[in-house]
Amino acid sequence: MRRLVVVSNRVAVPDDGQARAGGLAVALHEALQQNGGVWFGWSGRITPHSSNAPHILDSGPVTFATLDLSRKDHAEYYNGFANRSLWPVFHYRMDLADFNRQNYQGYLRVNTLFADQLRPLLREDDDIWVHDYHLIPLGEELRRLGLRQRMGFFLHTPFPAMEVLLVLPSAGRIIRSLCAYDVVGFQTSNDLRAFHDMITLELGGEVLSNGLVRAFGRTLKAEVFPIGIDVAPMVQSAENSPRLASTKRLRRNFKDIKLMIGVDRLDYSKGLPERFKAFERFLEKYPVWRGKVSFMQIAPASRADVPEYMQIRLQLEAEAGHINGRFAEFDWTPMHYLSSSFQRHTLAGFYRFSPVGVVTPLRDGMNLVAKEYVAAQNGDDPGVLVLSRFAGAARELGSALQVNPYDLEGVADVLLRALDMPIEERRDRWQDLMRAVRASSLDHWRDSFLKALREAPYSVET
């Protein structure tokens, strides 16, 4: 059996023999365990100099290989081009993008470093699976070194429309780099269409009748592989959650209050300021619900040393304080904003207790919180999912109450509809949603991508 080599920005190195918590890490680790192979990427450590050889940890059939990055490499590759150029453009926030040429050179330099350090670990018949926007050029760098192994790439973020991507000075190079892979996976048909537009309308390539893409002297397969969640553990955690001390405490504190919940990594793409303002508008329009409903937003901080993330944290703290100052009563607090993180089993209990789940990103590749919320519900008395039409999950979860997160008035009205929805409709919608969640599980995503990769011919060239 051919080995699998997974390459990602961060590596989930096992702790005492166990993979780190997190569905994606577990799914990739299982694939590596089944096939044997290597997981390669950044260690998470910043050191005076980037590694000139990987740190190796052998764990059964899996080898974990990690590189340390220098402060300069981390600043330019990760904080710089990846998260201040690609991330905002891919999420349609051109106003926040910084097109610093030095950062771009650092991005290419680190991808070259990854390729140079990965090459000695590879065998001729390995299948290589590269993940996400940090490492788009890696495949091209490996081809430059003469590698002909099957290589696949999966983009976890949205892929923007051609007119948006062209704002990026290096857009053409980014697409050329993607074409070095044999299989390129996207979250939604919108993302795939945007990629096709760049190939055919901007770069002189073509999309063949069988769906293959021909460009830059290569032929590759580009397809949609919507990522999902590990359904059974989430269902089990939710069913067991009433016994947890955290769930008991939540139920006690919100005994007579209906709870709306949002769970997001702190990021400007998640639409959190707009969500807070929509809830404020809800309380303005429907005062009968004051004292009867509260909103709990969990948003642990991320990328704390990137200025845009510092700003949004301050903005949310101010907005939550504004809402509470305006509407709170001595025995009721409308807005609960938590910057702490919680274990998945704790969140499962929070989801199950909350009659309304609010997932309203301005743009998102998929958004697995939407699927987790659905999986955590009690089928006899399920909650209602309010979902942004700009989340990738909206393509699959058609029975959610879909909203435009920029339309604060519209979101406020849909929050009312969610609270007032009859139980029969809630059950019907939940059953449809749960079928979709099960159909696109994390295992299905992983297996379908690997099947496509292993059926791809070796490095097809035209």
Could you give the 3-state DSSP secondary structure of residue 37?
strand
Instruction: Show Cβ contacts of residue 330 under 8 Å, excluding neighbours closer than 6 positions.
Output: none
Name 455's Cβ contacts closer than 8 Å, sequence gap at least 6: none
Terminus-to-terminus CA distance in the chain, angstroms? 28
Alpha-carbon span 48 to 18, nearest angstrom: 30
Of residues 20, 39, 86, 440, the one with CA closest to residue 269? 86
- The alpha carbon dihedral of 37, 53, 174, 264 has a sign of positive
d(CA 427, CA 449): 32
Q: How many CB atoms lie within 10 A of CB 125?
A: 11
156 is catalytic: yes
How far apart are the C-alpha atoms of 153 and 65, rounded to whole Å? 19
Our CA angle for 6, 230, 427, nearest 5°, is: 150
Beta carbons of 391 and 370 less than 8 angstroms apart = yes
| Catalytic position from the list 58, 68, 156, 196 | 156
Are the beta carbons of 229 and 368 closer than 8 angstroms? Answer: yes
Specify the DSSP element, H or E, that contains 308.
helix 307-327
Closest among 392, 398, 386, 348 to 368, alpha carbons compared: 392
Among 377, 371, 351, which residue's Cα sits nearest to residue 438? 371
SS3 242: helix
Query: CB 339: neighbour CB atoms within 10 A?
Result: 13
List 68, 182, 230, 364, catalytic entry = 364
Nearest to 66 by CA among 30, 48, 39, 46: 39
Tokens found for residue 241: 């959650």
| DSSP-derived secondary structure letter, 376 | T
Residues annotated as catalytic are: 156, 364
